[in-house]
Chains A and B, each alone.
Chain A
Amino acid sequence: MIVAERKPLQQIEAMIEGFEKILIVGCGTCVAVSMAGGEKEVEELAAQLRIKAKLQGKPRTVDEITVTRQCDKEYLEPLAKYLDEYDAVISTACGAGVQFLAERYEGRIVLPALNTLFIGVTEGPGVWSQRCIACADCMLDQTGGICPMTICAKNLSNGPCGGTNAGKCEVDGEKDCAWTLIYRRMEKLGRLEYLKKIQPPRDYSLTTKPGRHTHEAFRQSQQEEE
């Protein structure tokens, strides 16, 4: 899922400077799980914005609504009947959700409340870690299910650099060296021979931005439409 974190209140305050009627739109999927932009976090942000306004003697009303997802049109549609009332809309979705909301309601000021961090997994309560950089050319079969493009700071695909430090990374001693993990995993799997293959340079043309993908089944109908 997408992992995000709430921006400091100060930044959000600066964005809504001069606006009175605010709507916070939460997102009930990834960022709700990463405790950054779901129902609860929307409520917290609303309370903070209300308190702040009261302390500064500013007029401000803050309404809240959390939709299932902001990255699907269906869930953005019902917002149409409300948005005209507001001076500004704060979205607590990931960057994709914020953009989709802004795109659907082009005339509205849509502001981001989160910083989107990465595609990751839940390590434990309140802790997430990155697992995928969306490289468009998965090589996990070669590396025992551990991604050197993600876990190695230098995205090395042929083995460790000289900075391996007792199995930790020289860039951040808290983090594991990807290639120590890969080697140990492949050893356990009895597949060390696979690691001897020299991996060719990566094909970065696959990740030319902006990415767009059409499912095989929809290609023909898409073409007809166009």
Chain B
Amino acid sequence: MVAGFKQAFAQKKFVVTAEVGPPKGTEISELLSHIDLLKDRVDGLNVTDNQSSVMRISSLAVCRLILDHGGEPILQLTCRDRNRLALQSELLSAWVLGVKNVLCLTGDYITVGDHPQAKPVFDLDSVQLLQTVGLLNEGKDLAANEMQGGTGFFAGAVVTPEADPLEPQMLKFEKKIVAGARFIQTQAIYDVDNFKRFMEQARRYDVKIMAGIVLLVTPGMARYMNKNVPGIFVPEALIEEMAAAEKGQKIEAGIRIAGRMIRQLREEKICDGVHIMAIGKEDRVPDILKAAE
């Protein structure tokens, strides 16, 4: 299955990616078991970059572990912790280590994480980071210096289809594509009708769109996200479906919901693929894929 993430789109298939989060600390046995479990079932594995501003093993190191285990990594790179020197250096390092895909993000703000007193960087923004990747791909750096050997990254970005207000979000979405994003992974979506409306706008651009699927574990989680996570909207019907499930079986309902949505997105050809984020439940991704068949 691992012919490469970029190639998967070329084959016009419905592309599936999942996500692993590097651990805090050096105990990586669980991470490796997730990599082994998922690497042949998906077209790419995103590796988060100090996710939620919590300090962890770097995305690059885990990307390399994925390569060692025969998987296809997607390096997530945020602008929060590195200035333009460090970002470019990280990208060059990733390329020589065999990483071919990069997802460019702004990054959560420092104060939401576990080192809230750290200095936030944000030297570049995600649009400028995408342009930087484009330059490195041409063998030049951001200061227009010629380099000995460039990169050949397949670059992507993110968008929040449920952002409120949506217009400024779409403005940036367009800039990201102009700046070189070839694929887009969206923030979690739960309302397929809303997503269809978003896709009507997004389809005007030459970019591959992968819908973000976050596994619902409990109805409480859905309510929490509605209340606290900007840009995520779980319709009441889904929360009720979760609540109706028997105790101990809530996650099965979540898997059923995720599977059903993936199936609909694929069968109705609404978008080009899905990006599954089963935060903390990576071992259940194969069940989600099974439910989506």
Contact = CB atoms under 8 A, between A and B. Distances in A.
Please say whether the chains A and B touch (CB closer than 8 A): yes
Contacts of B174: 196
Interface string B200-233: 0000000000000000000000000000001100
Which range contains the number of B residues in contact with the other chain? 35 or more
B190 to A, nearest CB: 16
A198 B131 CA distance: 10
B106 interface: yes
Given A170-B230, A198-B131, A159 B122 contact: no
Residue in A153, A165, A192, A201 with the greatest tally of chain B CB atoms within 10 Å:
A201
Interface string A168-196: 00110000000110110001000010011
Interface in B159-193: 159-160, 163-165, 167-169, 171-172, 174-175, 178-179, 187
A199 B128 CA distance: 8
Question: DSSP majority for the A interface?
Answer: loop
Given A167-B164, A179-B168, A198-B179, A157 B230 contact: no
B283 interface: no
Which range contains the number of A residues in contact with the other chain? 20 to 34
B109 A154 contact: yes
B171 A201 contact: no
Contacts of B242: none
A160 B159 CA distance: 10
Contacts of B109: 153-154, 163, 170-171
Interface of B: 79-80, 84, 106-109, 111-112, 120, 122-128, 131, 142, 158-160, 163-165, 167-169, 171-172, 174-175, 178-179, 187, 230-231
Interface of A: 153-167, 170-171, 179-180, 182-183, 187, 192, 195-196, 198-202, 204
